[in-house]
Structure 1
Amino acid sequence: MITIDARKCTQDGLCVLACPVNIIKMDGGFPEEVDGAADRCIRCGHCVAVCPTGALDNALTPAGEYLPVPDKRPDAEAMENLLVSRRSARSFRKKPVEREQLERLLETARCAPTASNAQKLSWTMIQDPQRLDRVRELSLEWMGTNPARSHYMEAARQGRDVILRDATALAVVHGPARSFWTAIDSTLALTYMELLAATMGLGTCWAGLVTYASTVVPELLPVLGVPEGSKVGGAIMLGHPRLKHRLIPPRDAARVTWL
Protein backbone atom coordinates (compact mmCIF):
# COMPACT_ATOMS: atom_id res chain seq x y z
CA MET A 1 0.00 0.00 0.00
CA ILE A 2 2.76 2.44 0.96
CA THR A 3 5.55 3.09 -1.53
CA ILE A 4 8.61 5.26 -0.95
CA ASP A 5 10.80 7.01 -3.49
CA ALA A 6 14.19 6.51 -1.85
CA ARG A 7 15.71 9.29 -3.97
CA LYS A 8 13.37 11.85 -2.41
CA CYS A 9 12.85 10.51 1.12
CA THR A 10 14.83 12.37 3.80
CA GLN A 11 13.81 9.89 6.51
CA ASP A 12 12.36 12.72 8.62
CA GLY A 13 9.59 10.49 10.01
CA LEU A 14 6.83 13.01 9.45
CA CYS A 15 4.58 10.39 7.86
CA VAL A 16 4.91 8.22 10.97
CA LEU A 17 3.93 11.13 13.20
CA ALA A 18 0.98 12.07 10.98
CA CYS A 19 -0.64 8.63 10.76
CA PRO A 20 -3.61 8.53 13.20
CA VAL A 21 -3.87 4.73 13.17
CA ASN A 22 -0.15 3.95 13.59
CA ILE A 23 0.35 1.85 10.48
CA ILE A 24 3.69 3.33 9.33
CA LYS A 25 6.94 2.56 11.07
CA MET A 26 10.63 3.36 10.73
CA ASP A 27 13.18 0.91 12.03
CA GLY A 28 16.29 2.88 11.30
CA GLY A 29 15.60 3.08 7.58
CA PHE A 30 12.87 4.25 5.24
CA PRO A 31 9.20 4.35 6.26
CA GLU A 32 7.28 1.14 5.73
CA GLU A 33 3.79 -0.11 6.49
CA VAL A 34 3.08 -2.53 9.34
CA ASP A 35 1.35 -5.87 8.85
CA GLY A 36 -2.35 -5.46 8.11
CA ALA A 37 -1.94 -1.78 7.25
CA ALA A 38 -4.32 -1.88 4.30
CA ASP A 39 -7.13 -3.12 6.53
CA ARG A 40 -6.55 -0.44 9.16
CA CYS A 41 -5.92 2.56 6.90
CA ILE A 42 -8.74 5.12 7.12
CA ARG A 43 -7.66 6.91 3.92
CA CYS A 44 -7.22 10.26 5.67
CA GLY A 45 -4.28 11.02 3.37
CA HIS A 46 -2.17 12.68 6.04
CA CYS A 47 0.88 10.55 5.27
CA VAL A 48 0.96 11.82 1.70
CA ALA A 49 -0.06 15.38 2.55
CA VAL A 50 2.68 16.06 5.11
CA CYS A 51 5.63 14.69 3.09
CA PRO A 52 7.61 17.81 2.07
CA THR A 53 9.47 16.07 -0.74
CA GLY A 54 6.63 14.03 -2.27
CA ALA A 55 8.48 10.81 -1.54
CA LEU A 56 5.53 8.83 -0.18
CA ASP A 57 2.52 7.45 -2.01
CA ASN A 58 -0.48 5.54 -0.69
CA ALA A 59 -2.34 3.24 -3.07
CA LEU A 60 -5.62 3.89 -1.24
CA THR A 61 -5.26 7.67 -1.70
CA PRO A 62 -2.96 8.16 -4.70
CA ALA A 63 -0.77 11.26 -4.57
CA GLY A 64 -1.83 12.21 -8.09
CA GLU A 65 -5.37 12.92 -6.83
CA TYR A 66 -4.29 15.49 -4.24
CA LEU A 67 -4.68 19.25 -4.63
CA PRO A 68 -2.21 21.88 -3.43
CA VAL A 69 -3.16 23.91 -0.38
CA PRO A 70 -4.29 27.33 -1.71
CA ASP A 71 -2.19 30.35 -0.86
CA LYS A 72 -5.25 32.56 -0.52
CA ARG A 73 -6.90 31.78 2.79
CA PRO A 74 -8.62 34.10 5.30
CA ASP A 75 -6.52 35.34 8.18
CA ALA A 76 -7.75 35.14 11.76
CA GLU A 77 -9.42 38.56 11.65
CA ALA A 78 -11.34 37.84 8.43
CA MET A 79 -12.47 34.46 9.74
CA GLU A 80 -13.55 35.91 13.06
CA ASN A 81 -15.53 38.65 11.31
CA LEU A 82 -17.40 36.04 9.29
CA LEU A 83 -18.15 33.87 12.31
CA VAL A 84 -19.49 36.62 14.55
CA SER A 85 -21.47 38.43 11.85
CA ARG A 86 -23.25 35.41 10.31
CA ARG A 87 -26.98 35.42 11.06
CA SER A 88 -29.77 32.93 10.38
CA ALA A 89 -32.19 34.03 7.66
CA ARG A 90 -35.88 33.48 8.42
CA SER A 91 -37.33 35.33 5.48
CA PHE A 92 -36.38 34.54 1.89
CA ARG A 93 -37.09 36.03 -1.51
CA LYS A 94 -38.78 33.89 -4.14
CA LYS A 95 -35.69 33.93 -6.37
CA PRO A 96 -34.31 30.35 -6.68
CA VAL A 97 -30.69 29.61 -5.86
CA GLU A 98 -28.64 28.77 -8.95
CA ARG A 99 -27.74 25.11 -9.44
CA GLU A 100 -24.05 26.00 -9.71
CA GLN A 101 -24.15 27.67 -6.28
CA LEU A 102 -25.78 24.64 -4.69
CA GLU A 103 -23.20 22.34 -6.27
CA ARG A 104 -20.41 24.53 -4.91
CA LEU A 105 -21.89 24.32 -1.41
CA LEU A 106 -22.14 20.53 -1.61
CA GLU A 107 -18.61 20.22 -2.95
CA THR A 108 -17.25 22.11 0.05
CA ALA A 109 -19.51 20.44 2.63
CA ARG A 110 -18.25 17.00 1.61
CA CYS A 111 -14.77 18.07 2.76
CA ALA A 112 -15.92 18.50 6.36
CA PRO A 113 -14.28 16.08 8.81
CA THR A 114 -16.04 12.83 9.69
CA ALA A 115 -15.27 10.40 12.50
CA SER A 116 -12.38 8.15 11.44
CA ASN A 117 -12.75 9.67 7.96
CA ALA A 118 -15.70 7.31 7.38
CA GLN A 119 -17.36 9.70 4.87
CA LYS A 120 -20.72 7.91 5.14
CA LEU A 121 -22.93 10.97 4.71
CA SER A 122 -25.27 11.45 1.76
CA TRP A 123 -27.25 14.47 0.63
CA THR A 124 -30.64 15.41 -0.77
CA MET A 125 -30.99 18.88 -2.28
CA ILE A 126 -34.69 19.68 -2.62
CA GLN A 127 -35.76 22.49 -4.96
CA ASP A 128 -39.04 21.14 -6.37
CA PRO A 129 -41.82 23.42 -5.01
CA GLN A 130 -44.31 20.55 -4.67
CA ARG A 131 -41.88 18.44 -2.66
CA LEU A 132 -41.06 21.41 -0.43
CA ASP A 133 -44.80 21.88 0.14
CA ARG A 134 -45.07 18.22 1.15
CA VAL A 135 -42.25 18.71 3.65
CA ARG A 136 -44.17 21.64 5.11
CA GLU A 137 -47.42 19.68 5.21
CA LEU A 138 -46.05 16.64 7.03
CA SER A 139 -44.06 18.76 9.48
CA LEU A 140 -47.14 20.83 10.30
CA GLU A 141 -49.21 17.71 10.88
CA TRP A 142 -46.71 16.62 13.49
CA MET A 143 -46.66 20.04 15.15
CA GLY A 144 -50.45 20.07 15.34
CA THR A 145 -50.28 17.21 17.84
CA ASN A 146 -47.73 18.96 20.06
CA PRO A 147 -49.13 21.62 22.42
CA ALA A 148 -45.63 23.00 22.98
CA ARG A 149 -45.60 24.07 19.31
CA SER A 150 -48.93 25.91 19.39
CA HIS A 151 -47.30 29.27 18.70
CA TYR A 152 -45.97 27.90 15.43
CA MET A 153 -49.40 26.61 14.49
CA GLU A 154 -50.95 30.01 15.18
CA ALA A 155 -48.40 31.67 12.89
CA ALA A 156 -49.08 29.04 10.22
CA ARG A 157 -52.81 29.76 10.38
CA GLN A 158 -51.94 33.40 9.70
CA GLY A 159 -50.27 32.33 6.46
CA ARG A 160 -46.65 32.32 7.58
CA ASP A 161 -44.31 29.53 6.51
CA VAL A 162 -42.95 28.49 9.90
CA ILE A 163 -41.34 25.31 8.55
CA LEU A 164 -39.13 26.52 5.69
CA ARG A 165 -39.55 30.31 5.91
CA ASP A 166 -40.23 30.47 2.14
CA ALA A 167 -36.76 29.10 1.34
CA THR A 168 -36.42 27.89 -2.24
CA ALA A 169 -34.04 25.03 -1.40
CA LEU A 170 -33.59 22.56 1.43
CA ALA A 171 -30.32 20.68 1.94
CA VAL A 172 -30.80 17.43 3.85
CA VAL A 173 -27.85 15.35 5.04
CA HIS A 174 -28.34 11.77 6.18
CA GLY A 175 -26.28 8.78 7.22
CA PRO A 176 -26.44 5.33 8.80
CA ALA A 177 -29.28 5.13 11.32
CA ARG A 178 -27.26 2.99 13.73
CA SER A 179 -24.18 5.18 13.71
CA PHE A 180 -23.54 7.37 16.76
CA TRP A 181 -21.50 9.72 14.56
CA THR A 182 -24.18 10.55 11.96
CA ALA A 183 -25.50 13.54 13.91
CA ILE A 184 -22.03 14.92 14.69
CA ASP A 185 -20.64 14.40 11.19
CA SER A 186 -23.78 16.00 9.73
CA THR A 187 -23.51 19.02 12.00
CA LEU A 188 -19.93 19.64 10.88
CA ALA A 189 -20.88 19.31 7.20
CA LEU A 190 -23.86 21.66 7.54
CA THR A 191 -21.69 24.20 9.35
CA TYR A 192 -19.23 24.15 6.45
CA MET A 193 -22.17 24.72 4.11
CA GLU A 194 -23.72 27.63 5.96
CA LEU A 195 -20.43 29.46 6.43
CA LEU A 196 -19.60 29.25 2.74
CA ALA A 197 -23.16 30.29 1.88
CA ALA A 198 -22.68 33.45 3.95
CA THR A 199 -19.71 34.45 1.79
CA MET A 200 -21.80 33.88 -1.35
CA GLY A 201 -24.58 36.26 -0.29
CA LEU A 202 -26.99 33.42 0.44
CA GLY A 203 -29.14 33.04 3.52
CA THR A 204 -29.35 29.89 5.61
CA CYS A 205 -31.32 28.64 8.57
CA TRP A 206 -31.14 25.28 10.28
CA ALA A 207 -34.38 23.38 9.63
CA GLY A 208 -34.72 22.05 13.15
CA LEU A 209 -38.47 21.43 12.90
CA VAL A 210 -37.99 19.28 9.80
CA THR A 211 -35.14 17.38 11.43
CA TYR A 212 -37.21 16.66 14.53
CA ALA A 213 -40.31 15.73 12.53
CA SER A 214 -38.25 13.22 10.53
CA THR A 215 -37.73 11.20 13.73
CA VAL A 216 -41.46 10.81 14.46
CA VAL A 217 -43.13 10.99 11.03
CA PRO A 218 -41.98 7.98 8.96
CA GLU A 219 -43.79 9.31 5.88
CA LEU A 220 -41.43 12.28 5.84
CA LEU A 221 -38.25 10.25 5.25
CA PRO A 222 -38.92 9.26 1.61
CA VAL A 223 -40.03 12.84 0.87
CA LEU A 224 -36.62 13.96 2.14
CA GLY A 225 -34.91 11.34 0.00
CA VAL A 226 -33.69 9.34 2.99
CA PRO A 227 -33.38 5.61 2.23
CA GLU A 228 -34.24 2.78 4.59
CA GLY A 229 -31.55 2.23 7.19
CA SER A 230 -30.56 5.89 7.25
CA LYS A 231 -31.58 8.84 9.41
CA VAL A 232 -31.59 12.59 8.96
CA GLY A 233 -28.49 14.16 10.48
CA GLY A 234 -29.74 17.69 9.87
CA ALA A 235 -31.13 20.07 7.28
CA ILE A 236 -30.58 23.66 6.22
CA MET A 237 -32.87 26.06 4.38
CA LEU A 238 -31.17 27.94 1.56
CA GLY A 239 -32.20 31.00 -0.38
CA HIS A 240 -31.75 34.68 -1.08
CA PRO A 241 -32.46 36.55 2.18
CA ARG A 242 -35.02 39.34 2.24
CA LEU A 243 -33.41 41.09 5.19
CA LYS A 244 -29.88 42.33 5.86
CA HIS A 245 -28.51 42.41 9.38
CA ARG A 246 -26.52 45.57 9.99
CA LEU A 247 -25.61 44.97 13.63
CA ILE A 248 -24.22 42.05 15.62
CA PRO A 249 -26.54 41.16 18.53
CA PRO A 250 -25.01 40.59 21.97
CA ARG A 251 -24.46 37.08 23.26
CA ASP A 252 -23.87 35.72 26.76
CA ALA A 253 -20.28 35.62 27.91
CA ALA A 254 -18.56 32.26 27.55
CA ARG A 255 -18.95 30.01 30.59
CA VAL A 256 -15.48 28.56 30.98
CA THR A 257 -13.75 26.46 33.59
CA TRP A 258 -9.98 26.67 33.30
CA LEU A 259 -8.26 23.60 34.70
Structure 2
Amino acid sequence: MDLIEVDWERCKKDGLCVAECPSGALAADAEGGPVAADPAVCNACGHCVAVCPHDAIVNSRVAAVGGDVSPNVRAWPAPEVVDGFLRGRRSIRAYKDKPVSREMLAELIDVARFAPTASNAQEVRWIVVPDKDKVATLAGLTAAWFAGNGQRKQYSAMWDQGRDYFLRGAPALAVTYTHDAAPFGAADCGIALTFLELAAVSRGLGTCWAGLLTYAANGDPAVRQALGVPDGHTVHGGLMLGYPKTRFMGVPPRNPAVIHWV
Protein backbone atom coordinates (compact mmCIF):
# COMPACT_ATOMS: atom_id res chain seq x y z
CA MET A 1 0.00 0.00 0.00
CA ASP A 2 1.21 3.50 -0.81
CA LEU A 3 2.22 5.74 2.08
CA ILE A 4 -0.81 8.01 1.65
CA GLU A 5 -4.18 7.85 -0.02
CA VAL A 6 -5.96 11.12 -0.75
CA ASP A 7 -9.66 11.66 -1.28
CA TRP A 8 -9.33 14.33 -3.94
CA GLU A 9 -13.00 15.26 -3.72
CA ARG A 10 -12.47 16.26 -0.09
CA CYS A 11 -8.92 17.59 -0.32
CA LYS A 12 -8.80 21.40 -0.48
CA LYS A 13 -5.08 21.47 -1.34
CA ASP A 14 -4.46 23.85 1.55
CA GLY A 15 -1.02 22.40 2.30
CA LEU A 16 -1.69 21.76 5.99
CA CYS A 17 -0.60 18.14 5.92
CA VAL A 18 2.61 18.95 4.05
CA ALA A 19 3.45 21.86 6.34
CA GLU A 20 2.93 19.77 9.47
CA CYS A 21 4.92 16.73 8.33
CA PRO A 22 7.98 16.80 10.64
CA SER A 23 10.11 14.40 8.63
CA GLY A 24 9.72 15.64 5.06
CA ALA A 25 7.90 12.52 3.96
CA LEU A 26 5.27 14.59 2.15
CA ALA A 27 5.51 17.30 -0.48
CA ALA A 28 3.03 19.34 -2.52
CA ASP A 29 2.36 18.60 -6.16
CA ALA A 30 1.96 21.31 -8.80
CA GLU A 31 -1.59 22.00 -7.65
CA GLY A 32 -0.76 22.04 -3.95
CA GLY A 33 -2.03 18.58 -3.13
CA PRO A 34 -0.05 16.17 -0.95
CA VAL A 35 2.18 13.47 -2.42
CA ALA A 36 4.67 11.08 -0.85
CA ALA A 37 8.12 12.60 -1.31
CA ASP A 38 10.19 10.18 0.77
CA PRO A 39 8.09 7.40 2.36
CA ALA A 40 11.18 5.92 4.04
CA VAL A 41 11.44 8.81 6.49
CA CYS A 42 7.80 8.70 7.63
CA ASN A 43 7.73 7.85 11.34
CA ALA A 44 3.95 7.33 11.54
CA CYS A 45 3.44 10.30 13.87
CA GLY A 46 0.01 10.93 12.37
CA HIS A 47 0.35 14.72 12.04
CA CYS A 48 -0.78 14.67 8.41
CA VAL A 49 -3.98 12.83 9.27
CA ALA A 50 -4.70 14.70 12.50
CA VAL A 51 -4.31 18.19 11.02
CA CYS A 52 -6.62 17.70 8.03
CA PRO A 53 -10.00 19.36 8.72
CA HIS A 54 -11.52 17.64 5.70
CA ASP A 55 -10.75 14.00 6.57
CA ALA A 56 -9.15 13.73 3.16
CA ILE A 57 -5.95 11.78 3.81
CA VAL A 58 -5.10 8.28 5.04
CA ASN A 59 -1.55 7.37 6.04
CA SER A 60 -1.02 3.63 5.73
CA ARG A 61 1.56 3.51 8.54
CA VAL A 62 -0.78 5.31 10.91
CA ALA A 63 -3.70 3.12 9.86
CA ALA A 64 -1.59 0.01 10.45
CA VAL A 65 -1.55 0.75 14.18
CA GLY A 66 -5.30 0.07 14.25
CA GLY A 67 -8.25 2.25 15.10
CA ASP A 68 -9.42 5.55 13.72
CA VAL A 69 -8.12 9.02 14.45
CA SER A 70 -10.17 10.21 17.42
CA PRO A 71 -11.53 13.76 17.71
CA ASN A 72 -9.39 16.25 19.58
CA VAL A 73 -10.77 18.47 22.34
CA ARG A 74 -12.43 21.63 21.02
CA ALA A 75 -10.79 23.90 23.58
CA TRP A 76 -8.00 23.57 26.12
CA PRO A 77 -8.64 24.29 29.82
CA ALA A 78 -8.09 27.88 30.95
CA PRO A 79 -4.48 28.72 31.94
CA GLU A 80 -5.42 29.34 35.57
CA VAL A 81 -6.90 25.85 35.76
CA VAL A 82 -3.87 24.17 34.20
CA ASP A 83 -1.39 26.28 36.15
CA GLY A 84 -3.19 25.62 39.43
CA PHE A 85 -3.29 21.90 38.70
CA LEU A 86 0.43 21.75 37.93
CA ARG A 87 1.49 23.89 40.86
CA GLY A 88 -0.77 22.10 43.29
CA ARG A 89 0.41 18.57 42.52
CA ARG A 90 2.26 17.07 45.48
CA SER A 91 4.40 13.95 45.97
CA ILE A 92 2.26 11.63 48.08
CA ARG A 93 3.98 9.36 50.59
CA ALA A 94 1.04 8.27 52.74
CA TYR A 95 -1.74 6.22 51.18
CA LYS A 96 -5.14 4.93 52.19
CA ASP A 97 -5.52 1.18 52.56
CA LYS A 98 -7.46 1.06 49.32
CA PRO A 99 -6.37 -0.78 46.19
CA VAL A 100 -6.02 0.84 42.80
CA SER A 101 -7.96 -1.26 40.32
CA ARG A 102 -6.36 -2.84 37.28
CA GLU A 103 -8.94 -1.01 35.20
CA MET A 104 -7.80 2.34 36.57
CA LEU A 105 -4.12 1.51 36.02
CA ALA A 106 -4.82 0.36 32.47
CA GLU A 107 -6.74 3.59 31.84
CA LEU A 108 -3.82 5.66 33.07
CA ILE A 109 -1.32 3.86 30.84
CA ASP A 110 -3.71 4.24 27.92
CA VAL A 111 -3.36 8.01 28.42
CA ALA A 112 0.40 7.87 29.04
CA ARG A 113 1.04 6.03 25.76
CA PHE A 114 0.17 9.29 23.97
CA ALA A 115 3.21 10.99 25.50
CA PRO A 116 5.70 12.19 22.88
CA THR A 117 8.74 10.04 22.17
CA ALA A 118 11.88 10.81 20.19
CA SER A 119 11.15 10.33 16.47
CA ASN A 120 7.85 8.74 17.52
CA ALA A 121 9.79 5.55 18.29
CA GLN A 122 7.35 4.58 21.08
CA GLU A 123 9.90 2.34 22.78
CA VAL A 124 8.56 2.81 26.33
CA ARG A 125 7.54 -0.42 28.05
CA TRP A 126 5.61 -0.81 31.31
CA ILE A 127 5.68 -3.05 34.36
CA VAL A 128 2.61 -2.60 36.55
CA VAL A 129 2.23 -3.98 40.07
CA PRO A 130 -1.38 -3.63 41.27
CA ASP A 131 -0.94 -5.76 44.39
CA LYS A 132 0.12 -4.10 47.67
CA ASP A 133 1.81 -7.26 48.95
CA LYS A 134 3.92 -7.50 45.80
CA VAL A 135 4.87 -3.84 46.14
CA ALA A 136 5.91 -4.58 49.74
CA THR A 137 8.03 -7.48 48.51
CA LEU A 138 9.78 -5.15 46.07
CA ALA A 139 10.31 -2.65 48.87
CA GLY A 140 11.93 -5.40 50.96
CA LEU A 141 14.25 -6.41 48.13
CA THR A 142 15.18 -2.77 47.57
CA ALA A 143 15.84 -2.33 51.29
CA ALA A 144 18.05 -5.42 51.34
CA TRP A 145 20.07 -4.19 48.38
CA PHE A 146 20.68 -0.78 49.95
CA ALA A 147 21.57 -2.40 53.28
CA GLY A 148 24.06 -4.63 51.49
CA ASN A 149 25.87 -1.81 49.74
CA GLY A 150 25.82 0.56 52.71
CA GLN A 151 23.94 3.35 50.94
CA ARG A 152 20.95 5.20 52.42
CA LYS A 153 21.71 3.84 55.87
CA GLN A 154 19.01 5.97 57.45
CA TYR A 155 16.36 4.35 55.26
CA SER A 156 17.68 0.88 56.03
CA ALA A 157 17.47 1.66 59.75
CA MET A 158 13.89 2.82 59.33
CA TRP A 159 13.09 -0.38 57.42
CA ASP A 160 14.41 -2.40 60.35
CA GLN A 161 12.02 -0.43 62.55
CA GLY A 162 9.07 -1.32 60.32
CA ARG A 163 8.94 1.94 58.36
CA ASP A 164 8.98 1.70 54.57
CA TYR A 165 10.84 4.70 53.17
CA PHE A 166 11.52 2.89 49.89
CA LEU A 167 8.01 2.46 48.46
CA ARG A 168 6.01 4.06 51.29
CA GLY A 169 3.48 1.26 51.60
CA ALA A 170 1.96 2.21 48.23
CA PRO A 171 -0.81 -0.07 46.98
CA ALA A 172 0.37 0.05 43.35
CA LEU A 173 3.45 0.70 41.27
CA ALA A 174 4.16 1.53 37.62
CA VAL A 175 7.67 1.14 36.19
CA THR A 176 9.01 2.10 32.77
CA TYR A 177 11.91 0.60 30.84
CA THR A 178 13.38 0.51 27.35
CA HIS A 179 15.93 -1.52 25.47
CA ASP A 180 19.48 -0.56 26.36
CA ALA A 181 20.01 0.69 22.81
CA ALA A 182 17.12 3.18 22.90
CA PRO A 183 18.98 6.50 22.51
CA PHE A 184 16.38 8.60 24.29
CA GLY A 185 14.96 5.95 26.61
CA ALA A 186 15.40 7.96 29.79
CA ALA A 187 13.73 11.07 28.36
CA ASP A 188 10.89 9.12 26.75
CA CYS A 189 10.16 7.22 29.96
CA GLY A 190 10.31 10.38 32.05
CA ILE A 191 7.77 12.11 29.83
CA ALA A 192 5.49 9.06 29.82
CA LEU A 193 5.60 8.81 33.61
CA THR A 194 4.78 12.50 33.89
CA PHE A 195 1.75 12.00 31.66
CA LEU A 196 0.68 9.08 33.84
CA GLU A 197 1.25 11.08 37.02
CA LEU A 198 -0.88 14.01 35.93
CA ALA A 199 -3.62 11.72 34.65
CA ALA A 200 -3.57 9.93 38.02
CA VAL A 201 -3.85 13.15 40.02
CA SER A 202 -6.83 14.25 37.94
CA ARG A 203 -8.57 11.02 39.00
CA GLY A 204 -8.00 11.55 42.72
CA LEU A 205 -4.88 9.42 43.02
CA GLY A 206 -1.58 10.41 44.56
CA THR A 207 1.84 9.54 43.20
CA CYS A 208 5.49 9.65 44.18
CA TRP A 209 8.52 8.95 42.02
CA ALA A 210 10.18 5.67 42.96
CA GLY A 211 13.81 6.71 42.55
CA LEU A 212 15.23 4.24 45.05
CA LEU A 213 13.53 1.31 43.35
CA THR A 214 14.74 2.56 39.96
CA TYR A 215 18.30 2.67 41.25
CA ALA A 216 18.02 -0.84 42.71
CA ALA A 217 16.36 -2.25 39.58
CA ASN A 218 19.46 -1.41 37.56
CA GLY A 219 21.89 -2.76 40.14
CA ASP A 220 20.33 -5.77 41.82
CA PRO A 221 19.47 -8.98 39.92
CA ALA A 222 16.91 -9.90 42.60
CA VAL A 223 14.93 -6.69 42.08
CA ARG A 224 15.14 -7.06 38.30
CA GLN A 225 13.91 -10.63 38.50
CA ALA A 226 11.03 -9.71 40.79
CA LEU A 227 9.98 -6.97 38.37
CA GLY A 228 10.47 -9.17 35.33
CA VAL A 229 12.84 -6.78 33.53
CA PRO A 230 14.10 -8.50 30.36
CA ASP A 231 17.82 -8.84 29.76
CA GLY A 232 19.24 -6.01 27.70
CA HIS A 233 16.79 -3.44 29.07
CA THR A 234 17.17 -0.48 31.42
CA VAL A 235 14.65 0.72 33.99
CA HIS A 236 14.29 4.49 33.69
CA GLY A 237 11.72 5.32 36.35
CA GLY A 238 8.73 4.34 38.41
CA LEU A 239 5.76 5.81 40.22
CA MET A 240 4.09 4.74 43.43
CA LEU A 241 0.32 5.13 43.16
CA GLY A 242 -2.52 5.17 45.65
CA TYR A 243 -5.29 7.20 47.20
CA PRO A 244 -3.82 9.95 49.43
CA LYS A 245 -4.48 9.81 53.17
CA THR A 246 -4.54 13.59 53.39
CA ARG A 247 -5.31 16.56 51.19
CA PHE A 248 -2.78 19.37 50.84
CA MET A 249 -4.47 22.72 51.35
CA GLY A 250 -1.59 24.96 50.30
CA VAL A 251 1.17 25.26 47.71
CA PRO A 252 4.64 25.85 49.21
CA PRO A 253 6.95 28.30 47.41
CA ARG A 254 9.71 27.21 45.10
CA ASN A 255 13.08 28.77 44.35
CA PRO A 256 12.98 31.41 41.62
CA ALA A 257 13.68 30.04 38.15
CA VAL A 258 17.26 30.41 36.95
CA ILE A 259 16.95 31.77 33.41
CA HIS A 260 19.61 32.69 30.89
CA TRP A 261 17.94 34.68 28.12
CA VAL A 262 19.69 34.47 24.76
Which category of TM-score, normalised to the shorter sequence, fits these structures? over 0.9
Report the counterpart of residue 251 of structure 1 in structure 2. 254
Report the counterpart of residue 131 of structure 2 in structure 1. 128
Query: In 2, are the aligned partners of 1:23 and 1:33 still within 8 Å (CA)?
Result: yes
Amino acid at match of 1:251: R
Match of 1:117 among 120, 134, 139: 120
CA distance in 2, matches of 1:10, 1:249: 52
Deviation of residue 145 (structure 1)? Answer: 3.4
Report the counterpart of residue 56 of structure 1 in structure 2. 57
- C-alpha spacing 1:214/1:185, structure 2 compared with 1 (3 Å): same
Output the TM-score relative to the length of structure 2: 0.93
Report the counterpart of residue 68 of structure 2 in structure 1. 65
Report the counterpart of residue 168 of structure 1 in structure 2. 171
- C-alpha spacing 1:166/1:115, structure 2 compared with 1 (3 Å): same
Trace 1:222-233 onto structure 2 (pairs within 5 A): 222-233=225-236
Deviation of residue 192 (structure 1)? Answer: 0.6
- Count of aligned positions: 257
> Per-residue displacement from partner, 1:199-224 (whole Å, max 9, x unpaired)?
11111000000001111102211211
SS in 1 for 2:126: strand
Query: In 1, are the aligned partners of 2:43 and 2:119 still within 8 Å (CA)?
Result: yes
SS in 2 for 1:144: helix
Please identify, of 241-250 and 127-136, the stretch whose mean Cα deviation from structure 2 is larger.
127-136
CA distance in 1, matches of 2:103, 2:210: 22
CA distance in 2, matches of 1:176, 1:87: 31
Output the TM-score relative to the length of structure 1: 0.94
RMSD: 1.6
Deviation of residue 184 (structure 1)? Answer: 0.6
Deviation of residue 68 (structure 1)? Answer: 0.5
Trace 1:12-31 onto structure 2 (pairs within 5 A): 12-29=14-31, 30-31=33-34
Identity of aligned residues (%): 41
Deviation of residue 242 (structure 1)? Answer: 1.2
Deviation of residue 257 (structure 1)? Answer: 0.8
Please identify, of 94-103 and 202-211, the stretch whose mean Cα deviation from structure 2 is larger.
94-103
CA distance in 1, matches of 2:61, 2:49: 11
Match of 2:244 among 241, 253, 256: 241
Trace 1:124-203 onto structure 2 (pairs within 5 A): 124-203=127-206
Deviation of residue 156 (structure 1)? Answer: 1.4
CA distance in 1, matches of 2:44, 2:143: 42
Report the counterpart of residue 45 of structure 1 in structure 2. 46
Runs of 4+ in 1 over 4 A off after TM superposition: none
CA distance in 2, matches of 1:173, 1:109: 11
CA distance in 1, matches of 2:56, 2:182: 36
Amino acid at match of 1:98: S
CA distance in 1, matches of 2:143, 2:181: 27
Report the counterpart of residue 211 of structure 1 in structure 2. 214
SS in 2 for 1:183: helix
SS in 2 for 1:60: helix
Amino acid at match of 1:99: R
CA distance in 1, matches of 2:87, 2:252: 9
Deviation of residue 174 (structure 1)? Answer: 1.2
Please identify, of 189-198 and 72-81, the stretch whose mean Cα deviation from structure 2 is larger.
72-81
